[in-house]
């Protein structure tokens, strides 16, 4: 039996300024659309970040990996 290669795990780092912006956006959303609107928007943000991680081999991520490895597939 051939062993499967280990899954690659990616991590998103969000700068403090970006976290502050996201918090500000969610606070504004609460004021404009209420708690239910905030929860919906928070879910969309989470989905976007999850999608980014699960689909990381896009042009942007591939270029970054490529440049770090010194070669492109």
Divide the 73 residues of the chain into consecutive groups of 10 and give the mean pLDDT of each group: 66 87 96 97 90 67 56 53
> Please, which residues have CB within 8 angstroms of residue 26's CB and are 6 or more apart in sequence?
38, 41, 42
- pLDDT value at position 11? 73
The tally of domains found in the chain comes to 1
pLDDT of residue 6: 66
- 57 lies in some domain: yes
Residue 1 domain flag: no
62 domain residue, yes or no: yes
Q: Is residue 30 part of a domain?
A: yes
Q: Is 70 left (phi over 0), alpha (psi -120 to 50) or beta?
A: left
Does some domain include residue 32? yes
Question: By residue range, what is the domain housing residue 57?
Answer: 19-69
Pairwise CA distance, residues 73 & 71, whole Å: 7
Question: What pLDDT is attached to residue 53?
Answer: 76
**51, part of any domain:** yes
d(CA 38, CA 43): 8
Task: Let me know if residue 35 belongs to a domain.
Answer: yes
Our CA angle for 49, 67, 53, nearest 5°, is: 15
């Amino acid at each position: 039996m051939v062993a499967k290669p280990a899954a690659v795990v990616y991590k998103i780092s969000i700068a403090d300024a970006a976290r502050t912006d996201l918090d500000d956006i969610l606070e504004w959303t609460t004021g404009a659309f209420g708690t239910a609107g905030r929860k919906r928007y928070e879910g969309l943000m989470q989905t976007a970040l999850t999608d980014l991680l699960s689909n990381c081999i896009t042009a942007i991520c591939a270029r970054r990996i490529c440049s770090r490895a010194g070669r492109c597939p």
